[in-house]
Amino acid sequence: MSSLATNSIPRSYGIILLAAGASSRLGKPKQLLTYNDKTLLQHSLQIAIATEIESIVTVLGANSDLLSESLENQKLTTVINEGWSEGMASSIRCGMEALLKTTPALDGVIIMVCDQPFVTSTLLTDLVEKHQLTGKPIIASKYNSNLGTPALFDTTIFALLRSLKGDTGAKKMMQANPDWVESVDFPLGEFDIDTNGDYDLLMKRSQL
């Protein structure tokens, strides 16, 4: 699919960057791992900003003090999810609340995470383009026969996003309502950073 020109994206879309997890499998905050001379958190924010979507909310939780320091020069909305230990759903609810306070009239929201280093601004704008072309409530990234983040959610299902519980995010919503979903191919989306081995592999790939 051809990517949508960034300057043509309606300002009625928003982005929520989820960065609240404790990185328990890694043993240290994955958000602060370095990639291309930036932390993974800074890298993900740079990708979000490059879309020229103005309404961006970053959700922090575990290690929020450390992570906040790395964002001091970013003029973006950052919120702390005090209930981060519940799982991803609580961070989505927190992000939605903050986003709708600053931009109450949205056509859709993109939810992304900071441990998928190969996400690009083109991918995010492709999600917007697919939404505009199809009108489907959910536009998800597709990798390894799975649907996942980054994913765009239409305003018609914001209430469902704000009622999510547990640690499954919106995946159950996609699985229960396949007719709601269109996808954008993102083969590299299957690579995320959960362990030191994952990070070592990322470093090797970046040196090729």
pLDDT for the residue numbered 75: 63
Intra-chain end-to-end CA distance of the chain, in Å: 27
Whether residue 201 is contained in a domain is answered as yes
Q: Which residues fall within 8 angstroms of residue 24, CB to CB, at 6 or more apart?
A: none
Whether residue 186 is contained in a domain is answered as yes
Q: What is the mean pLDDT of the chain?
A: 90
Domain count, the chain: 1
Instruction: Name the residue range of residue 71's domain.
Output: 12-206
Amino acid letter for position 16: I
Q: Helix axis angle, 121-134 relative to 40-50, nearest 10°?
A: 50
pLDDT in tens, 68-107: 887 865 668 999 999 999 889 999 999 999 999 989 999 9
Whether residue 3 is contained in a domain is answered as no
Whether residue 6 is contained in a domain is answered as no
Phi-psi region of 206 (alpha: psi -120 to 50; beta: other; left: phi over 0): alpha
Q: Which residues fall within 8 angstroms of residue 107, CB to CB, at 6 or more apart?
A: 10, 12, 13, 131, 154, 155
pLDDT for the residue numbered 9: 52
Percent of the residues in the chain that have a pLDDT greater than 90, as a whole number: 72
Amino acid letter for position 90: S
- Whose CA is closest to 173, among 197, 155, 147, 194? 147
Whether residue 123 is contained in a domain is answered as yes
- Rounded Cα distance between 95 and 122, Å, is 23
Q: Which residues fall within 8 angstroms of residue 185, CB to CB, at 6 or more apart?
A: 141, 142, 143
Query: What's the maximum distance between 2 C-alpha atoms anywhere in the chain?
Result: 44
pTM greater than 0.85: yes
Whether residue 1 is contained in a domain is answered as no
* CATH code of 189's domain: 3.90.550.10
pLDDT in tens, 121-178: 999 999 999 999 999 999 999 998 899 999 999 999 999 999 998 877 788 899 889 9
Whether residue 39 is contained in a domain is answered as yes
Whether residue 28 is contained in a domain is answered as yes
- Pull the structure tokens for residue 191: 């690579």
Residue 2 has pLDDT above 80, yes or no: no
